[in-house]
A = this chain, B = another copy of it.
Amino acid sequence: MSKLAVNIAMSLDGYVAGPDQSVNDPLGVGGMELHAWFHPLKEFREMHGEQGGETDASSAVVNERNENVGATIMGRKMFGGDAGPWGEDPWPGWWGQEPPFHHPVFVITHHAREPLQMNGGTTFHFVTDGIEPALAQARDAARGQDVRLAGGASVVNEYLAAGLVDELDLSIVPLVMGGGERLFAGLVPGDLKLTQLRAIEAPGVTHIKYRIR
């Protein structure tokens, strides 16, 4: 069966977003620094339709993460909330007119909406009946490929607690955030049995991948 995989950047003190998240600061205070290793890369620039960029040991990790992914799941805050600050209707989220997914994206929300088709192959589907139906729909849409769970922390923690995540690839960043959204919050020891699959040292980050039983 296709895997549910999480790739997420985490500070040393366990945060995947900084405090005081808002529409103007979706990653929270200091949260952008969690992705400082990613932004200079050719792979990041390509995802956003730009040229140039660097290649380093993180490049192979990013490419591996993007292989064989047929659908993405995310929480409503990661999509951009239910409505935006600029009065757009329908609000297209903050991923721009050509979001970097290029496949169906399932947004877990309490706010029912029609699907939203964007440029470049991304269609946002809004799922209001919880994480298991969202996974079932994403698996269906992925047509045998894997499903990526993009975030944020609360949705990832819900899937982890429910035992639905198969692989976790953490990008551990040399940063102490001191507050924000904590990965693994609310989990207890019995919830997860992890096996380390590989660790890759790269400039400014270490990527450690785990299988979850």
Tell which of A12, A194, A201 has the most Cβ of chain B within 10 Å.
Answer: A12
Counted per complex, copies of this chain come to 2
Stretch binding the partner chain, chosen from A41-49, A61-69, A103-111, A185-193: A185-193
By beta carbon, the residue of chain B nearest A203 is: B196
Q: Is A150 an interface residue (CB 8 A)?
A: no
Stretch binding the partner chain, chosen from A90-98, A125-133, A141-149, A167-175: A167-175
By beta carbon, the residue of chain B nearest A30 is: B189
Given contacts A174-B194, A177-B189, A194-B174, contact A184 B12 (CB under 8 A): yes
Smallest Cβ distance from A199 to chain B, in angstroms? 4
A residues 137-181 near B (Cβ < 8 Å) are 170, 172, 174-179
* Closest A-B pairs by Cβ, 8 of them: A199-B201, A174-B194, A13-B184, A199-B206, A178-B188, A14-B14, A174-B196, A176-B192
